[in-house]
Amino acid sequence: MKFEFSLDGFTTKTPPMLGLDISSTSIKLVEISEAGKDLFRVERYAIESLPKEAVNEGNIANMEQVADVLRHAWKEMGTRVKNVAMALPSSAVITKKILVPATLSGIELENQVESEANQVIPFSLDEVNLDFQILGPSPGSPNDVEVLLAAARKEKVEDRVAVAEAAGLKALVMDVESYATQGAYDRIAHLLPNGGAGQTVAIVDVGAQNMHINILHNNESVYLREHGFGGNQLNHEISRRYGMTSEEAELAKRKGTLPESYEIEVLRPYGETLAMEVGRAMQLFTTSTQYHKVDHILLAGGGAMIPGIDEVVAGRTSTSTMIANPFSNMAVGAKVRPQQLAADAPSLFVACGLAMRRFDAQ
């Protein structure tokens, strides 16, 4: 599933493009190139921390700070590519399924979609960027097709585009984070039985503030939800126990300079709580939808970088669980350290999906 929110410059043959993921705590950039038929190579990547509150609940609160960090991350990468694919948080996008006559195409289809959008979107269409994708024939209405609408307030799109421009970059694609994860998922679906066909797979992206749940059935998204638990809880506990600020806690966690007691006193209990929250999210899915079980859980985001967390989640949920590494089947460029990439891979899941957008139209 892919959306572009009316950004100029997107052509049928996409030029080289970086994946740019702006989260609440960091900026991630990924550059991927072709290395042969259906083969790809990670050329370079960067992860840079953002100042506290520079991005708040998906909204860019301090454009200058975010642009400065992005400019620095881009320079650190050492790339010449200035085009980027970006994404909006799922919470900033309204999605609705509608039915339209199967006979419509071109301008007629666009006009019908706009007319339907007027009915289901609680804003004037002048205030939103709108895109749609035909899903296929309607199971209950043979003369209609299902269409998925996506609408985002223009200022949400414009803020992200402005940050890229302030850093000297050009946004060519604006996607939705939950759909960008599917671009990364496509790189690892082959690791699942039947390549994920006939399977119900939960992608659990553990961010700083929330867990972003995207559940696929038969490799198509059927359920999106945000769950109020994330990596900040771990930082809060480190701060409380060791008398640090949250910034000091984050730095000590990354540098591995926390006390020896950290793993037993803080990390293990947090891992158990995270596993319990994943279990609750899966239970909510199975009790509120037609799907009665989840076959596989893929853990992504910063929270998936905790050693052994896949085993803890698997034990708590009785579900096959693995850490999502979308680069596992890719070559690695000379500028990338393979061991470090493997450690950072879960947090680069969205950025990888966005970086793969450059190959969509080729």
- The CATH number given to whatever domain includes residue 113 is 3.30.1490.300
Do 338 and 332 form a contact (C-beta atoms < 8 A)?
yes
Tokens of 145: 């097709």
Residues 6 or more apart in contact with residue 267 via CB below 8 angstroms: 234, 306
Last residue of a domain, one of 154, 171, 204: 154
Identify the residue with better confidence: 6 or 83: 83
State the residue range of the domain holding 290. Answer: 193-324
Chain centroid, CA 156 distance in Å: 17
The per-residue pLDDT for range 49-107, each reduced to its tens digit, is 999 889 988 889 999 999 999 999 999 999 999 999 999 998 888 888 888 888 888 88
pLDDT beyond 60 at 192:
yes
- The C-alpha atoms of residue 162 and residue 70 are separated, in whole angstroms, by 12
Identify the residue with better confidence: 215 or 246: 215
The per-residue pLDDT for range 265-317, each reduced to its tens digit, is 999 999 999 999 999 999 999 999 999 999 999 999 988 988 899 999 999 99
Q: Look at residue 328 in the predicted model and tell me its pLDDT.
A: 92
Q: Same structural domain for residues 184 and 316? A: no
Tokens of 328: 């596992």
- The C-alpha atoms of residue 182 and residue 194 are separated, in whole angstroms, by 17
Q: Same structural domain for residues 72 and 166? A: yes
Do 281 and 224 form a contact (C-beta atoms < 8 A)?
no
Q: Look at residue 355 in the predicted model and tell me its pLDDT.
A: 96
pLDDT beyond 90 at 131:
no
Q: Look at residue 246 in the predicted model and tell me its pLDDT.
A: 79
pLDDT beyond 90 at 335:
yes
Q: Same structural domain for residues 11 and 135? A: no
Q: Look at residue 12 in the predicted model and tell me its pLDDT.
A: 45
Question: For the CA atoms of the chain, what is the radius of gyration?
Answer: 20
- The C-alpha atoms of residue 296 and residue 182 are separated, in whole angstroms, by 15
| Confidence band of 213 (pLDDT split at 50, 70, 90) | very high
Identify the residue with better confidence: 5 or 219: 219
Q: Look at residue 27 in the predicted model and tell me its pLDDT.
A: 96
Residues 6 or more apart in contact with residue 94 via CB below 8 angstroms: 121, 122, 149, 150, 151, 152
- The C-alpha atoms of residue 302 and residue 234 are separated, in whole angstroms, by 11
| Confidence band of 13 (pLDDT split at 50, 70, 90) | low
DSSP annotation of 259:
-
Identify the residue with better confidence: 143 or 71: 71
Q: What is the mean pLDDT of residues 230-247?
A: 89
Do 209 and 229 form a contact (C-beta atoms < 8 A)?
no
Q: What is the CATH number of the domain that holds 205?
A: 3.30.420.40
Q: Report how far apart, in Å, the C-alpha atoms of 176 and of each of 7, 12, 155 are.
A: 14, 20, 15
pLDDT beyond 60 at 11:
no
pLDDT beyond 70 at 359:
yes
DSSP annotation of 51:
P
Task: Give the count of domains, the chain.
Answer: 3
Q: Same structural domain for residues 103 and 56? A: no
Average pLDDT, the chain: 89
pLDDT beyond 70 at 178:
yes
Any alpha helices (H) in 146-206, and if so which ranges? Answer: 154-166, 177-185
Tokens of 164: 């890229």
Do 30 and 351 form a contact (C-beta atoms < 8 A)?
yes
Q: Same structural domain for residues 208 and 285? A: yes
Element (H, E) at 232: helix 232-242
- The C-alpha atoms of residue 207 and residue 226 are separated, in whole angstroms, by 10
pLDDT beyond 50 at 186:
yes
- The C-alpha atoms of residue 43 and residue 19 are separated, in whole angstroms, by 12
- The C-alpha atoms of residue 56 and residue 265 are separated, in whole angstroms, by 29
Q: Same structural domain for residues 240 and 351? A: no
Q: Same structural domain for residues 180 and 114? A: no
Q: Look at residue 73 in the predicted model and tell me its pLDDT.
A: 97
Q: Same structural domain for residues 345 and 251? A: no
pLDDT beyond 80 at 361:
no
- The C-alpha atoms of residue 154 and residue 129 are separated, in whole angstroms, by 6
Q: Same structural domain for residues 238 and 107? A: no
Q: What is the mean pLDDT of residues 180-191?
A: 92
* Other Cβ atoms closer than 10 A to 43: 23
Q: Same structural domain for residues 354 and 240? A: no
* pLDDT over 70 percentage in the chain: 96
Sheet holding 211-217, edge to edge: 220-227, 211-217, 200-206, 296-300, 320-323
Do 179 and 221 form a contact (C-beta atoms < 8 A)?
yes
Q: Look at residue 262 in the predicted model and tell me its pLDDT.
A: 92
pLDDT beyond 80 at 121:
yes
Q: Look at residue 103 in the predicted model and tell me its pLDDT.
A: 87
Q: What is the mean pLDDT of residues 204-222?
A: 92
Identify the residue with better confidence: 15 or 49: 49
Q: Same structural domain for residues 179 and 47? A: yes
| 63 φ/ψ angles, rounded to the nearest 5 degrees | -65, -40
Q: Look at residue 10 in the predicted model and tell me its pLDDT.
A: 41
